[in-house]
Amino acid sequence: MSSSLSPVEPGTRPVPIPDYRVPWRADVLAVAQEVASRGLCARVVRRGDEWVLVAAVRGVEVPRGCRLFLEAGGVTDRSRLAAGCLERVPSTDCYGCAVRVPCGWVGGVRLLPIPEPAVVPEGAAQRQWWLKVCRQGEQLGLRPKGPSICSTKGTVTVMGAHIAAPWCGDARTNSVSSPGVIDVVRCQAGDGAGAVAGVGLVLFDGAALRAADINRLACAAGISYVAMVNHAADFQGRATELLGDVGLLDEIAEALRALNPAISWVAAGSSFGGVAAARLIARHPDLFQGAVCASTPWGRLLLPDAAGTPPPERMPWLRAVRGELEWLFPAAAQTAALGRCALRGITTRDESFPGGHDVAWWREVLIAAAIVGADVPLPKALEQLAAKVANKQAAAQQL
């Protein structure tokens, strides 16, 4: 398919994130005081259909010359700093911020130091400024107590409806290939119970997902192989390779065929990686049972022509999961892209998740959707993943 996309430029958000702050009602105020006094840093309060994320610290914990910013996946970001900065909590000696989150939300949470006065650059310089803030936040180490994962921008605590904890027990992986276009590990899930026989997972943006310990979660879920695609790590390089490079797709397919012909593969990725996963199964439908695409900018999708191999008896499926807090990726764009995939004979499933552009929920959704295929609704798939991990944990504790 001969077409091209306009260059992708990182930097300034074209539309600021909404302001999700809630007033300091008496009940929220009490939670903030408790969070600060106990050193919890943040807590999600669930009252029926309303969920509120409350962050608070004692005044002495605020670094000199800085304000603290509550980073919460999909709820706050650098496009509207005021909506996430901690302010003096009325009638207390602590600083806090309370924001509304959707029911079922999962997100990575930490506090970041914003130098005063906050001068936010425009354009590409803004991204570099934010990465520096994230590095300083990593050194500060202010984040809630609880299960944590590593992202490309540092360590965050996973909060909300986190049902498949980062615990992965005795799950182990062994490298079975030297790094090339893919780096493949074979999973050993301890007792071997509940394995998804012969299923392999191809992951784009593997470095970020590996940092979030997705390898061991995949292993605990019973997946046999995980193949991390080695592509460019810089923003523009990723855009070039993942959005338009057919050669990369062919190299991946060739490497997978040489590895183990009996493996049934599922392609998966988030953001640009979701675009690449959809392109990979369209290019090599005979090699894949399906694809899982999370938080995908579908407006960047160029479906390549299928390679010259005979068409499969059954075309692959594609599950697209949009973060409900991702206002930059409208639901209509996902639906339209899936319609184009369906014209290729690909079975599609259009879904959403109450989260933002955040690895905290990607790691679970990508694994859960991969192990159940296209027919099981996402909430049920996540329940099945949680059950698998819980069973592994219980078995390990009995040893």
Both tokens assigned to 357: 């552009």
Q: 309 pLDDT exceeds 90?
A: no
Per-residue model confidence (pLDDT) at position 175? 55
Q: 100 pLDDT exceeds 80?
A: yes
Q: 397 pLDDT exceeds 90?
A: no
**Cβ(75)–Cβ(356) below 8 Å:** yes
Percentage of the chain lying above the pLDDT 90 cut: 56
Lowest mean pLDDT, pick from 4-13, 24-33, 95-104: 4-13
Among 97, 93, 81, 82, CA closest to 130 = 81
Average pLDDT along the chain: 86
Q: 278 pLDDT exceeds 60?
A: yes
Per-residue model confidence (pLDDT) at position 261? 77
**How does residue 179 score in pLDDT terms, banded at 50, 70 and 90?**
low
**What letter does residue 322 receive in the DSSP assignment?**
E
**How does residue 58 score in pLDDT terms, banded at 50, 70 and 90?**
very high
Per-residue model confidence (pLDDT) at position 85? 96
Per-residue model confidence (pLDDT) at position 284? 96
Would the CA dihedral through 346, 332, 297, 365 be positive or negative?
negative
How buried is 118 (Cβ within 10 angstroms: 0-12 exposed, 13-18 middle, 19+ buried)? middle
The model's pTM? 0.89
- Which domains does the chain possess? 26-160 (2.60.40.10), 172-398 (3.40.50.1820)
Q: Mean pLDDT, to the nearest integer, of 5-14?
A: 60
Per-residue model confidence (pLDDT) at position 8? 55
The single-letter code of the amino acid at 166 is P
Q: How far apart are alpha carbons 263 and 72 in whole angstroms? A: 38
Q: 87 pLDDT exceeds 90?
A: yes
Q: 220-247 pLDDT, tens per residue?
A: 888 888 999 988 888 888 889 999 889 9
More confident residue, 167 or 337: 337
Q: Mean pLDDT, to the nearest integer, of 374-379?
A: 90
Q: How far apart are alpha carbons 366 and 358 in whole angstroms? A: 12
Q: 260 pLDDT exceeds 80?
A: no
Task: Look at residue 314 and give its three-state secondary structure.
Answer: coil
